[in-house]
Structure 1
Amino acid sequence: MLQNYLKIAWRNLLKNKLYSFINIFGLAIGLTCFLLITLYVVDELSYDRQFKDAERIYRINSDIKFGGAEQRMAVSSDPFGATLKKDYAEVEQYVRLYANNSRRFIKKGSEFLIENNCLHADSTLLDVFPLNILEGDSKKVLAEPNTLIISQTAAQKYFGSTSAVGKTLTVGLQNPVEYKVTAVYEDMPTNAHFQTDMFFPFKNINDYKFDNFLSHNFYTYIKLREGVDYKQFEKKFDVVVDKYILPQAKAFMDIKSMDDFKKGGNYLKYSLTPLLDIHLKSDRIYEIGPNSDIQYVYIFSVVALFLLLIACINFMNLSTARSANRAKEVGIRKVMGTQRNSLIMQFMSESVLTSYLAFVIALVITILLIPSFNEIAGKQFTTQSLFQPQYLPFLVLLPLIVGVLAGYYPSFFLSSFRPIEVLKSKLNANFRRSNFRNALVTFQFVTSLVLVISTFIIYRQLNYIQHKNLGFSKDQILVVTGTSSLRDNNNVFKEEVKKMAGVKNATFAGFLPVANSSRSDNTFSTEAVFNTQNSFNMQAWEIDEDYIPTLDMEILKGRNFSKAFSTDSSGIILNEQAAKLIGFDDPIGKKLYINNGNPNDVEALTVVGLVKNFHYSSMREAVGPLCFRYGRSAWVTAFKINTEEPQTLIKQIEAKWKVFAPEMPFNYHFMNESFDEMYRAEQRIGQISLIFAGLTVLIACLGLFGLITYIAEQRTKEIGVRKVLGASIWSIVQLLSKDFLKLVCLAFVIASPLAYYAMSTWLKDFAFKTDISLWVFVVAGIVILLIALLTVSYQAIKAALMNPVKSLKTE
């Protein structure tokens, strides 16, 4: 019986080639998008799940408001984890990761390579994050100074094989240290929220004063025992604050109690973020790696379902619209004794067969598109990713589910015809009009319009970010990294390059207002004795006298740093937000005080300048207080260039680099690339939204084309009669098109408020954002209306131009 159903289904597909193509092609597009988005969503949701007991691992966060400046940080103080383990039995283990000294110069042969993502970790690392150790003793990792563990990729890179245990690496330039490799671990999976190829021991952190509860520089993870409610455990942090943090705070400032601290509008809170929530639900400053956003998972999931649903709707619409062609078949079958269940199975078989044919095409398209999708989505999927054993049941069942979903309504609709009405031809008038079919068409265009409007607004926001006055110049800034490796020659290198044609200026720029640059928070006070009323936190960056002119920043009052003023070593330049926070109308000449880590070591700083606010972090955040101090952070050097042949200039700079450091690699990038990196997620969303919006419109128009083609066939004789009676081509086109265009207009009315709400919610993540203009909705509506009009008009005009003699001669 099933074989017979499939044979008849195949014959019907071949008999109606145009409608079969529209159905199969539309479903294939929908299934392709669904498969790609499913890969993306499953990967996003899988982050950190490979770690054993991941559901019991949490990161400690810090929330600080002090002197009006607020910070939500992904880091905490170095003794916090050990204190929790010592005082509370609920904590099974803890581990700290330290990333402040993440760059390392590693010697390979006669040259040095730069490793940009090294981490220091406690010897408890594997107790919390059980990496797969390929070689070495997992119980002794990072227990001794001058040891390290490396990934298999690093082992291959430096030793040519994973047999690296017992071998040494020379680390550092000025005071090189020999580190012994004690273990090699399998490369960390790409779906871990932090990545590194090298772990160094905590005992080799030499430039940090430990046991300081007031300094927040460590990523601290705790593993709670089974059955512990982390929300209840968080409540014990207040005890830790009173018992350990308050005494240290009293040594630095006049503070009686935490209640006294809070009365000034301040707070110090600690919280836990589940490990499995970090990648998608954490957006704190100083995240250990780039995170994503759960919003995008929700959005993509909904878009994938809607695309598939729209493709299914096309099948429903065409199947029900063409029901007149199958009506007599149904009538005769019923008269001959065929049961309704058999008819349902017949029509359902056609639907499932169509779905499986579309699925095969979708698989081929998906495999071909995976490299391009990886580039857009920032993933590393392969064909094997699609055919993992756990996905095979899903791949087998998906087309079956889609086939049943798409064919369910048409099957019951077609099998419900009464034989006597069918054979008397009493159904034709009802086939052309269907409220249900109109509702489905409207839904398709509502979805299309929401996506088109959203895409317009996303690109407007990206354009706003690119063209907003940032308070500095990001264009034509060439950043050379690792210049501190030049040691005593870094200033000579800077000045030599500065003399080259096409180089306008140069500065040491360890701190830059772009992603992945250094940041430094410090506590300042308006008085020598710190208290909760006169103290506040702000960013403090070390810059040289060339920094402000190189980045085209604007000095509003006072002056820039200068070698001519020996007192500038104790000078400070504030941004507008810092001056506003402090309450200085004219800050020039005013004093600020900073504590250098010792209650008795308070340094007085004199404000020498006021710089215009500039966006030193993402536009998702408001501009915070910041100051410049005179110094030299020489890890990178930034050059302002002005040349039509930048690659020629770069080769000249590289040649100069090789003169001073022939053993060191020459690395560079442009500052606008780092700026764009801050908004990579939004750019990907924009690209993907544009693609999905286009595909949604295409699928909807395919269905519309099929419907208008069928209706034109059904009304061929009516059109011929109207033409004989004098109807114009335009009036016939209008007759065939107006109902569909009304549906598009109705879709616009429904879609506009939905798109407005969705985009208003999305834009709330930005402190600086574009406005949602009315013209965006109007343009989107006109675009969709024109596309629908072109789709409908082609077939309508074709029908209107038909010779009426051909359509009437059979009467």
Structure 2
Amino acid sequence: MLKITIRRLLRFKKASLLNIAGLAIGIAASLIVFMIIRFETSFDTQQPNYKNIYRIVTPTDYSTGVQYNSGVSTGVPDAIKNEFPQMEKVATLQMIEGAQFSAEENAGKNAGENARKNAGDNAGRNVEDNAGKDAGENAIKNAGKNTSEKVFKEDHGTYFIEPSWFDLFHQKWLSGDPSQLAAPNTIVLDKTTAEKYFGTWKKAIGQIITLDNKYPLKVAGILDNAPANTDFPLRMVVSFETLRQHPDDYSYVKNDWGGMNGQHQVFVQLPENTDPATISNRLKTFSKEHYTNQLIKVRTLLLLPLSENHFDNRFSYIVPHVSSHTRLLTLTFIGVLILLMAIINFINLTTAQSAIRSKEIGIRKVLGSLRRQLITDLLFETAILVTVAILLAIGIAQLSLPVLRGFTPMPIAVFSIENIVFLFILLISVTLFAGIYPAFILSGYQPLKAFKPAGFSVRRGLVITQFAISQIMIIGTIVAMEQVHLLQSADLGFNKEAVYTVPGFGNYDLNGADALKTRLKQYAGFASITLANMPPTANSNWMDVFYFDQGATPSNYNIDIRCGDADYVRTFGLQLIAGRNYQDGKNIRELIINQTFAKQLGYKDPASAIGHTIKISNTGEWHQIVGVIKDFTNNSLREQVRPSVVMPWREACWLTCIKLTDFKMIDVLKDEWMKAFPGYVFNGSFLTQQMENYYQQEQQLSLLYRLFAGIAIFISCLGLYGMVSFMAVQKKKEIGIRKVLGASVMNILYLFWKEFLTLTGMAFLIAAPAGWWLMNNWLQNFTLRTEVGATVFLTAIAASVAIALLTVSHKAMTAALTNPVQSIQTE
């Protein structure tokens, strides 16, 4: 049976190849979508108590709207442990952003021995045990000076963590155990990081890694590499006790109930069968008991299930890769549509063979074949084609996945049990859905009924469906590309071009930074230089309540805080609309505010806000408002502009920002920076590069739309080719008669064009409202959004018409040039 089936398929090579190509591309797209969805929904599900683990987050309900913070006040963890005995486990984590780590190749035991020689036995023992005494620290820093030092700026996977973290989140230990993190000045590395610093992970045990050129940490354990599907890829884990010993360098204020630190995270595990709603209600009461002053009215705590941690972008600060349920539903929808198009394409191409195969079917019936047997044989043919298509789809998916790594950090592993099961399900379902209708048509006693209007209307409907789907994809692609372009070219209220930023480090030398700025001013290639805490637009924000005009009552909403010296306004091109810029100086207490803040204070005329005073939280000093600037985008164009201040808070400024007039000056900047901060890594980047990352999801969606629109168009072309092939067979005699009666080639082409342009127009009537509704809903996520206007639809229909004409014309031209005598005789 297999040989006979293969022989039949080889008889119709062209149709078989087209069927296989369409199905292979459709199945490959579906497989990729399935892999992405399976990966994104698997984050941290490997944890034993996954369903009972929650992150505590902080929504604050201000009059301007709810603001969400992924962290908690530092007083929360201990209070939770004391007042919620029903919480089985509580763990605290704080991110370490942009820290520098360095290690000597011959550090470790030799360093400890040198420490004892240089600082005395007691100091040496303290270095090995506590790594905390000054003499020991200096000894360790000086140990192995002649050896090769490895220095890295670590931006991801570095945390201060309590030992209790590993009670909630299990990760294999290659050496050591969680108790190693109970002591200060200890660090645990994952296998890959240990190999990066020390060659092999076994050599790393007992070695010394220095944090920010200041704090020596003993490597006390090695973790196995975290899986790709975790939001907590622990690479370098420093004991939380180290943070408690050096709080000022890492924004840690113990038992604070006023400030908020998005890096400071708390996770809890609830017992089985505990109602999270009950705990959430208790947390509301808990918040009122602990938060002070106005914060009682607006700030609360909320349980966020670990199952939602990967999908909730309101609290995404700690999560390196955030997805969304909407995104996955969109992917699922696209995957199903692409597969549906491939199935429709198969049906059209197969039924187009009805007339050619009618004699074969008739002979088999005369020889005694039952219709049931014919249907079985035809379904078996379909199964063979689908099997070949699946094998080809696996190769296509394997080749395509590296291109999609920018969309998801999914590991490239097409061959897995889950994928094989998925492909087997596709084999069965596609065989049935794609094969059952053609099998019934071809096995009928009168196959030529397929040419009657009723049969033709089914195929017309299928082609309309295909083209409607491809037009929706085209509309989505155009809108997504326009939106990304709008976001990247929008007026942000400041100048981001040619601004180069260089971050500092944990114990940033402010005097050294001032000296660096003075030296850089001597170069003509640097138009302006400012020392700041962050650029005007940043993906992290410092927000706090404030006091107004010497009042004792804090505000009931947060303001964004940007800090910088007096050159901040000039460097970023902020536009003053009232008053003046603030001045530099230790005893000068001035600041400027944005338009939104002035309006929030009740001043329609921005100039009316000048002269009033502001104090940030209850620990700051009073600053006079001396100017008002035009609104600038604080965070993302998905959000409304927030009330903001820009002020000269010197201690917070760890970022050097330079406006360049000559890009070649970056080398000069690097040399000067290395002279100012020897031993530290220079890690600069352009602000434009940083801001492109803010809209990574939109860029990825635009990429996906382009990719899947291309696939949809290709499959539509195959479907059209099948349809025009069917039409050429159906109208063979008609075309011959028309030519005998004097019809030109153009008349024959018009006969085909008219049919398919009508189908394209009917498809557009479906696609236009559907595409408008889908893309308008997506655009609601942005405060600044493009319009889904007439240009979008005109472009979509023009592209569809062009594709239809190009696809139809080839086959139509062949039919038009056929000798009419042969056409009439054949019929």
TM-score by structure 1 length?
A: 0.90
**Partner residue of 1:264?**
none
Q: Please, which of 631, 638, 641 is the counterpart of residue 657 of structure 2?
A: 638
**Partner residue of 2:473?**
451
Letter in 1 for 2:238: F
Deviation at 1:284, TM superposition (A): 3.1
Secondary structure at the residue paired with 2:582? Answer: coil
Q: Please, which of 332, 350, 366 is the counterpart of residue 363 of structure 2?
A: 332
- Structure-2 separation of matches of 1:470 and 1:559: 21
- Structure-2 separation of matches of 1:668 and 1:272: 38
1:210 matched to 2:235? The reply is no
Secondary structure at the residue paired with 2:299? Answer: strand
**Partner residue of 1:402?**
430
Secondary structure at the residue paired with 1:679? Answer: helix
**1:335-391 Cα shifts (integer Å, max 9, x gaps):** 32212221111100110111111122222222222222224x242532xx1112443
**Partner residue of 2:582?**
561
**Partner residue of 2:602?**
583
Deviation at 1:43, TM superposition (A): 1.1
Are the counterparts in 1 of residues 352 and 722 from structure 2 also a CA contact under 8 Å? no
- 389-398 vs 149-158, which moves further: 389-398
Q: Please, which of 8, 15, 37 is the counterpart of residue 19 of structure 1?
A: 15
Structure 1's 515 and 185: CA in aligned 2 closer, same or farther, altered over 3 A? farther
- Structure-2 separation of matches of 1:238 and 1:90: 16
- 671-680 vs 603-612, which moves further: 603-612
- 39-48 vs 157-166, which moves further: 157-166
Q: How does 1:158-557 map to 2 (within 5 A)?
A: 158-163=197-202, 164-173=204-213, 176-205=214-243, 206-207=247-248, 208-217=252-261, 218-245=264-291, 249-250=292-293, 261=297, 267-284=298-315, 286-375=317-406, 377-382=407-412, 385-415=413-443, 417-418=444-445, 421=446, 427=449, 429-430=451-452, 433-482=455-504, 488-516=511-539, 519-531=541-553, 534-557=555-578
- Structure-2 separation of matches of 1:595 and 1:711: 77
Deviation at 1:67, TM superposition (A): 5.3
**Partner residue of 2:57?**
61
- 76-85 vs 676-685, which moves further: 76-85
Deviation at 1:234, TM superposition (A): 1.1
- Structure-2 separation of matches of 1:436 and 1:809: 29
Secondary structure at the residue paired with 2:181? Answer: coil
Letter in 2 for 1:304: G
Are the counterparts in 2 of residues 701 and 788 from structure 1 also a CA contact under 8 Å? yes
Secondary structure at the residue paired with 1:386? Answer: coil
**Partner residue of 1:156?**
195
- Structure-2 separation of matches of 1:613 and 1:491: 29
Structure 1's 487 and 290: CA in aligned 2 closer, same or farther, altered over 3 A? same
- Structure-2 separation of matches of 1:792 and 1:608: 70
Are the counterparts in 2 of residues 545 and 630 from structure 1 also a CA contact under 8 Å? yes
Letter in 1 for 2:207: K
Deviation at 1:204, TM superposition (A): 2.3
Deviation at 1:758, TM superposition (A): 1.0
Secondary structure at the residue paired with 2:220? Answer: strand
Are the counterparts in 2 of residues 481 and 637 from structure 1 also a CA contact under 8 Å? yes
- 301-310 vs 627-636, which moves further: 627-636
Q: Please, which of 6, 9, 19 is the counterpart of residue 10 of structure 1?
A: 6
Are the counterparts in 2 of residues 134 and 186 from structure 1 also a CA contact under 8 Å? yes
1:628 matched to 2:646? The reply is yes
**Partner residue of 1:571?**
590
Deviation at 1:203, TM superposition (A): 2.1
- Structure-2 separation of matches of 1:496 and 1:211: 41
Are the counterparts in 1 of residues 259 and 544 from structure 2 also a CA contact under 8 Å? no
Structure 1's 755 and 544: CA in aligned 2 closer, same or farther, altered over 3 A? same
Secondary structure at the residue paired with 1:71? Answer: strand
Deviation at 1:679, TM superposition (A): 0.4
Secondary structure at the residue paired with 1:531? Answer: coil
Are the counterparts in 2 of residues 323 and 431 from structure 1 also a CA contact under 8 Å? no
**1:694-729 Cα shifts (integer Å, max 9, x gaps):** 110110111111221232134233212111112232
**Partner residue of 2:131?**
none
Letter in 2 for 1:719: I
1:80 matched to 2:76? The reply is yes
Letter in 2 for 1:235: N
Structure 1's 330 and 578: CA in aligned 2 closer, same or farther, altered over 3 A? same
- Structure-2 separation of matches of 1:171 and 1:553: 36
RMSD across aligned positions (CA): 2.4
**Partner residue of 1:618?**
636
Are the counterparts in 2 of residues 577 and 626 from structure 1 also a CA contact under 8 Å? yes
Are the counterparts in 1 of residues 550 and 613 from structure 2 also a CA contact under 8 Å? no
Deviation at 1:287, TM superposition (A): 4.2
- Structure-1 separation of matches of 2:556 and 2:612: 15
Are the counterparts in 2 of residues 486 and 660 from structure 1 also a CA contact under 8 Å? no
Count of paired positions: 769
- 659-668 vs 47-56, which moves further: 659-668
- Structure-2 separation of matches of 1:515 and 1:406: 51
**1:441-491 Cα shifts (integer Å, max 9, x gaps):** 111111111111011111111111112110111111122233775653322
Structure 1's 9 and 295: CA in aligned 2 closer, same or farther, altered over 3 A? same
Q: Please, which of 155, 161, 186 is the counterpart of residue 121 of structure 1?
A: 161
- Structure-1 separation of matches of 2:714 and 2:591: 59
Deviation at 1:666, TM superposition (A): 2.3
Q: Please, which of 24, 34, 40 is the counterpart of residue 28 of structure 1?
A: 24
Structure 1's 626 and 306: CA in aligned 2 closer, same or farther, altered over 3 A? same
- 297-306 vs 279-288, which moves further: 279-288
Secondary structure at the residue paired with 1:77? Answer: coil
1:722 matched to 2:738? The reply is yes
Secondary structure at the residue paired with 1:455? Answer: helix
Structure 1's 388 and 433: CA in aligned 2 closer, same or farther, altered over 3 A? closer
Secondary structure at the residue paired with 1:134? Answer: strand
1:131 matched to 2:133? The reply is no
Are the counterparts in 2 of residues 69 and 624 from structure 1 also a CA contact under 8 Å? no
- Structure-2 separation of matches of 1:374 and 1:95: 32
Are the counterparts in 2 of residues 110 and 663 from structure 1 also a CA contact under 8 Å? no
Deviation at 1:546, TM superposition (A): 1.2
Q: How does 1:83-94 map to 2 (within 5 A)?
A: 83-94=79-90
Are the counterparts in 2 of residues 321 and 431 from structure 1 also a CA contact under 8 Å? no
**Partner residue of 1:737?**
753
Are the counterparts in 2 of residues 71 and 285 from structure 1 also a CA contact under 8 Å? no
Structure 1's 669 and 596: CA in aligned 2 closer, same or farther, altered over 3 A? same
1:654 matched to 2:661? The reply is no
Secondary structure at the residue paired with 1:427? Answer: helix
Secondary structure at the residue paired with 1:530? Answer: coil
Letter in 2 for 1:354: L
Structure 1's 431 and 67: CA in aligned 2 closer, same or farther, altered over 3 A? closer
- 624-633 vs 109-118, which moves further: 109-118
Are the counterparts in 1 of residues 310 and 319 from structure 2 also a CA contact under 8 Å? no
TM-score by structure 2 length?
A: 0.88
Unmatched 5+ stretches in structure 1: 262-266
- Structure-2 separation of matches of 1:105 and 1:96: 22
Unmatched 5+ stretches in structure 2: 105-147
Secondary structure at the residue paired with 1:638? Answer: strand
**Partner residue of 2:814?**
798
The alignment-based identity, stated in percent, is 31
- Structure-1 separation of matches of 2:302 and 2:182: 29
Deviation at 1:60, TM superposition (A): 1.1
1:768 matched to 2:784? The reply is yes
**1:562-616 Cα shifts (integer Å, max 9, x gaps):** 23x6653x1111111111111133211111233444xxxx622100111111012
- Structure-2 separation of matches of 1:60 and 1:661: 39
**Partner residue of 1:45?**
41
